[in-house]
A = this chain, B = another copy of it.
Amino acid sequence: MHHAMQFLSDNAAAVHPRIWAALQAADAPAPPYDNDALSQQLDDAFGALFGRPCAVLWVATGTAANCLALATLVPPHGGVVCHREAHIEMDEGGAPGFYTHGAKLLLADGEGAKLTPASIAAVLDPIRPDVHRVQPHAVSITQASEYGRVYTPAEMAGIAAFAAGRGLPVHVDGARFANAVAFLGCTPWEACAGAAALSFGCVKNGGMSAEGLVFFDESLADVARYRRKRAGHLQSKGRFLAAQLLAILEGDLWLENARAANAAAQEIASVAGDRLLHPVQANEIFLTVSEAERAALRAQGFSFYDWGDGAARLVTAWNSDPAHVAALARAIASL
A: residues with CB less than 8 A from B are: 1-2, 6, 8-9, 11-15, 20, 24, 27-32, 35-36, 59-61, 63-65, 67-68, 75-79, 90-95, 97-104, 131-135, 203-204, 208-209, 223, 225-237, 239-241
Give chain B nearest CB distance to A282 CB in angstroms. Answer: 17
CA distance A112 to B268 in the complex (A): 47
Asked if A232 meets B61 with Cβ closer than 8 Å, knowing A12-B30, A132-B91, the reply is: yes
Contact check, A32 vs B61: say whether CB atoms are below 8 A apart.
no
Contact present for B15 and A29 (CB under 8 Å): no
18 other A-B residue contacts (CB within 8 Å) besides A64-B232, A93-B134: A1-B35, A12-B29, A12-B32, A12-B36, A60-B209, A61-B232, A61-B236, A75-B226, A77-B223, A93-B133, A93-B226, A94-B134, A95-B231, A97-B230, A99-B232, A131-B234, A231-B231, A233-B233
| Residues of chain B lying within 8 A (CB to CB) of residue A237 | 11-12, 15, 203, 208-209
In the assembled complex, the Cα of A115 lies from the Cα of B293 at a distance in Å of 37
Name the residue among A63, A91, A226 with the largest chain B CB count within 10 angstroms.
A226
* Nearest-Cβ distance from residue A225 to partner chain B, whole angstroms: 5
Contacts of A94 in B (CB 8 A): 76-79, 102-104, 134, 230
The main secondary structure of chain A at its interface with chain B is: loop
Q: Please list the 7 inter-chain residue pairs (A to B) with the smallest Cβ-Cβ separation, ordered nearest first.
A: A97-B102, A64-B232, A93-B229, A11-B236, A63-B232, A12-B32, A131-B229
Closest to A132 in B: B91
Nearest-CB distance from A29 to chain B (Å)? 5
Min CB distance A137 to B, Å, is 11
Q: Is the CB of B232 within 8 A of A60?
A: yes
Complex Cα–Cα for A29 and B317 (A) = 12
Query: What residues of chain B lie closer than 8 Å to A76, measured between beta carbons?
Result: 76, 94, 97-98, 101, 227, 230
- A233 contact from B64, B65, B240, Cβ within 8 A: B64
Q: Is the beta-carbon distance between B59 and A30 smaller than 8 angstroms?
A: no
CB < 8 Å neighbour of A97 from B24, B27, B104: B104
Cβ A61 vs Cβ B233 within 8 A: yes
Nearest B residue to A3 via CB reads B29
CA distance in complex: A241, B239 (Å): 16
Residue of B nearest to A95 (CB): B230
Write out the residue numbers on chain B whose beta carbons fall within 8 Å of the beta carbon of A12: 29-32, 36, 236-237, 239
Contact B8 A31, beta carbon cutoff 8 Å: yes
- Provide the bound-state CA to CA distance between A170 and B173, in Å: 36
Provide the bound-state CA to CA distance between A237 and B210, in Å: 10
| Assembly CA distance A239 to B102 (angstroms) | 29
Distance of A71 from chain B, by nearest CB (Å):
9
A234's contact among B61, B232, B239, by CB below 8 Å, is which?
Answer: B61
A319 nearest CB neighbor, chain B only: B29
Partner of A240, one of B92, B101, B209: B209
Interface contact B134-A232, CB-CB below 8 Å? no
A101 — nearest CB in chain B belongs to which residue? Answer: B101
CA distance A227 to B78 in the complex (A): 10
**Cβ-neighbour of A29 out of B14, B204, B209 (below 8 A):** B14
Q: Assess whether A93 is in contact with B24, with CB atoms less than 8 Å apart.
A: no
